[in-house]
Structure 1
Amino acid sequence: MEDISDVEIIAPNFKRRLSGVTSTIIQLVPVQRALGQKVATLGPGLPASLPHIGYSALLRLWGRPKNRALRLWHARRNVEMLPAIVLRDILRMKLRIVFTSASQRKHSGWSKFLIRRMDAVIATSNRTAAYLEVPSTTIMHGIDTQRFYPADDKMAAKAALGLAPDKKIAGCFGRVRHQKGTDLFVDTMIELLPMRPNWIAIVAGRATAAHVSFENELKDRVKQAGLFDRILFVGEHTNIPDWYRALDLFVAPQRWEGFGLTPLEAMATKVPVVATDVGAFSELLVTGEDETGILVAANSLGDMTQAAAAFMDDPERAKLAGERGLARATDSFSIQGEASRIGAVYEKLLSDTAAG
């Protein structure tokens, strides 16, 4: 438990179920702390290893932290904005509020009401910023390039996972469900693999209870196509960077996505990417002359099949795209860079307050 007098930024998490927002907090807070940002979490559903404060510490928010005029509250959901507004505007606590928006849809009236009362707003992509009606700073998510990096020996990386080292591998990672487009990846591979005997495909990820029947239907489809030994459902793994390092092609087939880190994770492991035009994918990938991947229309099986075949049948194009993707991920999308840019937003608020 952190001493509230040493905490300058509170990162609340008021949702028990694991989500993309929760994952962001888990990954980002240790990096922020390493950069000297005095952040602590508040709420359930987070690892005990993260610095945190209890709800009783909120009673001390009328007081100032050491060396600062006030504290910051970094909300990422409506349910986290509202209590901060109460603390700041009704209880008159020494607090300013930052909100990060990842939504790519028109906000409800209630959300607009809350967002208008923020002291600073961060958008996770330019598409997200376009839905906001207040000034915002775009700071895209980053990844841990100490975890996601290329394999020194691709064949050894495959063998370490029990995969055939002489085979090329296409992968699709994430929750197995319709929204994530797992069926589009499977159907793409059913179309392409019979004519490409040196390729296999991997689906890595978990199907929650509500989506087990969907996964079973896909497995039946694969079996009926006679590809049960070449399209593999390997489940969920904690060592997912090792699975990226075994890939020769990554496909992100989502029908909808708030942001989506999987293309970045693939790029950081020097793997070319085919992705649908959803979430922030169009802002992560470079297409055209300096391509790092191919962007296709969402829900278009034909476009996805054609794009995947383009990389599978042109090893030099795939190699160059992978190399450019690695450079782009490490130069522009490290989680350290994300934390530094968020820290600049924090510092501006704290400095403006001090000047005032």
Structure 2
Amino acid sequence: MAQPLDDITVISPHFKRRLSGVTSTVIQLIPEQRRQGLGILTLGPGLPPHLPKMRWSQLPGLWKRPKSGGNRVWHARRNNEMLAGLVLRDILRMPLKLLFTSAAQRHHSRYTRWLISRMDAVVATNAKSGSFLQVPHTVIRHGVDLDLFHPSGEVDAAMPADLKGRHIVGCFGRVRHQKGTDLFVKAMIELLPDHPDWMAVISGRVTPEHSGFADQLKAEIAAAGLKERIRFLGEVDDIKPWYRRLTLYVAPSRNEGFGLTPLEAMASGTAVVASDAGAYAEMIIENETGAVVPAGNYIRLRDAIAAFLNPQKAIEAGRKGRQHVEATFGLSREADQLSDVYARLLSTTPPSPHATVTQGNG
């Protein structure tokens, strides 16, 4: 059933079918925003059915202002979503304010810079991403749902029986060079023979263009005689129990936008070793909740993992990680800060031909 637009003040488009970090953010964030009383709907494919959505056929309804009598916010997170917002606002003259959230940690193309320059406000997901923006912006770090991701003192009944009594180190995400899956596998091949109580699991999508990469990793594992101790799980429908089952989580990415998985792991009471890609270094307290190493540096990654194959050290880091996420990265905090940005946009007059942006420190 289509959601009425009368009380809707924020539209969060999602123009991608495949699961991504942006998808995970939207799935977690929008229910929290709704709980806080925000009138927000999604638009587009690739999202679960429980999220509140508007239909494409309802787009003409955006010409009509909400009950509040003001504008609506179009909150884009991708180039195509920014472009759609520009068409709706500047060509079709719909009463919209355009907000863009940037997670990229690289210099933007000329086209992307032009799109960003037309936004009414810009948010960066971390300080490093903000450093690549050439416009004023507000830094708002992503949060994690502390009810969905939580520690558990019990072994999940759905876990394979032969994992009982083992400590598990995991690496989750798409299996590809960018994600550093090969670095993780190499470290496991080198370290696990000396740690018989540990096993490793890898979960994530293998797309056709990266199938050769994944096959090579599996061949290396087989050649090392570790097929039973380093397992590819494929895509897992519900990854949350696996986070709770891990003793150590590794995020070895060579490149990231923001990257939620270390937060999800720490919220689940699991220690984390991560590269300094994305916002990982801003999440982890060195030697307390885990460790951060230079992206792509295999030796530093291997040695950091080795240090946390001490179960007592890893378990204590996981306990501190949960406390750290509760204090700093709760989802409600992200929702609150975004609400402040929305409020500033909705309290201003319609945009001039050259849109301005709001600056803040998050």
TM range (shorter): over 0.9
Evaluate the alpha carbon distance shift between residue 319 and residue 26 of structure 1 in structure 2; reply closer, same or farther with a 3 A threshold: closer
Evaluate the alpha carbon distance shift between residue 176 and residue 158 of structure 1 in structure 2; reply closer, same or farther with a 3 A threshold: farther
Name the residue aligned to 1:5: 6
Q: Report the TM-score when normalising by structure 2.
A: 0.91
In 1, distance between residues paired with 2:51 and 2:32? 11
Matched, 1:67 2:68: yes
Q: Is the 1:272–1:318 contact (alpha carbons within 8 Å) kept by the matching residues of 2?
A: yes
In 2, distance between residues paired with 1:54 and 1:165? 47
Match of 1:258, SS? coil
In 1, distance between residues paired with 2:94 and 2:228? 61
Evaluate the alpha carbon distance shift between residue 228 and residue 47 of structure 1 in structure 2; reply closer, same or farther with a 3 A threshold: closer
In 2, distance between residues paired with 1:160 and 1:187? 25
In 1, distance between residues paired with 2:158 and 2:10? 45
Q: Is the 2:63–2:94 contact (alpha carbons within 8 Å) kept by the matching residues of 1?
A: yes
Answer with 186-195 or 328-337: which moved more.
328-337
In 2, distance between residues paired with 1:88 and 1:206? 37
Q: Is the 1:68–1:350 contact (alpha carbons within 8 Å) kept by the matching residues of 2?
A: no
2:316 to 313, 320, 327: 320
Deviation at 1:115, TM superposition (A): 1.1
Matched, 1:125 2:122: no
Deviation at 1:78, TM superposition (A): 1.6
Matched, 1:311 2:289: no
Name the residue aligned to 1:293: 290
Name the residue aligned to 2:172: 173
Name the residue aligned to 2:234: 235
Q: Any stretches of 5+ residues in structure 1 without a counterpart? A: none
Amino acid at match of 1:148: F
Q: Is the 1:104–1:258 contact (alpha carbons within 8 Å) kept by the matching residues of 2?
A: yes
Evaluate the alpha carbon distance shift between residue 166 and residue 54 of structure 1 in structure 2; reply closer, same or farther with a 3 A threshold: closer
Amino acid at match of 1:304: L
The structure with higher relative contact order (CA 8 Å, sep 6+) is: 2
Amino acid at match of 2:18: R
Deviation at 1:158, TM superposition (A): 7.7
Name the residue aligned to 2:360: none
In 2, distance between residues paired with 1:45 and 1:306? 39
Name the residue aligned to 2:200: 201
Deviation at 1:87, TM superposition (A): 2.6
Evaluate the alpha carbon distance shift between residue 168 and residue 62 of structure 1 in structure 2; reply closer, same or farther with a 3 A threshold: closer
Name the residue aligned to 1:83: 84
Deviation at 1:17, TM superposition (A): 3.2
Q: Any stretches of 5+ residues in structure 2 without a counterpart? A: 351-362
Deviation at 1:159, TM superposition (A): 7.8
In 1, distance between residues paired with 2:268 and 2:23? 24
Match of 2:243, SS? helix
Amino acid at match of 2:323: A
Alignment size in residue pairs: 349
In 2, distance between residues paired with 1:245 and 1:186? 21
Answer with 133-142 or 159-168: which moved more.
159-168
In 2, distance between residues paired with 1:100 and 1:6? 23
Q: Is the 1:143–1:335 contact (alpha carbons within 8 Å) kept by the matching residues of 2?
A: yes
Match of 1:10, SS? strand
Name the residue aligned to 2:275: 276
Evaluate the alpha carbon distance shift between residue 271 and residue 343 of structure 1 in structure 2; reply closer, same or farther with a 3 A threshold: same
Evaluate the alpha carbon distance shift between residue 161 and residue 243 of structure 1 in structure 2; reply closer, same or farther with a 3 A threshold: farther
Q: Is the 2:204–2:236 contact (alpha carbons within 8 Å) kept by the matching residues of 1?
A: yes
After the TM superposition, which residues 313-352 of structure 1 pair with which residues of structure 2 at under 5 Å, given as runs?
A: 313=310, 315-352=311-348
Deviation at 1:84, TM superposition (A): 1.8
In 2, distance between residues paired with 1:83 and 1:196? 53
Match of 2:97, SS? strand
1:41-93 Cα distance to aligned partner (Å, 9 max, x none) = 12233333322223343323332101241111111112111232233233332
Evaluate the alpha carbon distance shift between residue 158 and residue 282 of structure 1 in structure 2; reply closer, same or farther with a 3 A threshold: farther
Q: Is the 2:101–2:125 contact (alpha carbons within 8 Å) kept by the matching residues of 1?
A: yes
Runs (4 or more) in structure 1 with deviation over 3 Å come to 157-161
Q: Report the TM-score when normalising by structure 1.
A: 0.92
In 1, distance between residues paired with 2:112 and 2:198? 47
Name the residue aligned to 1:92: 93
In 1, distance between residues paired with 2:23 and 2:151? 27
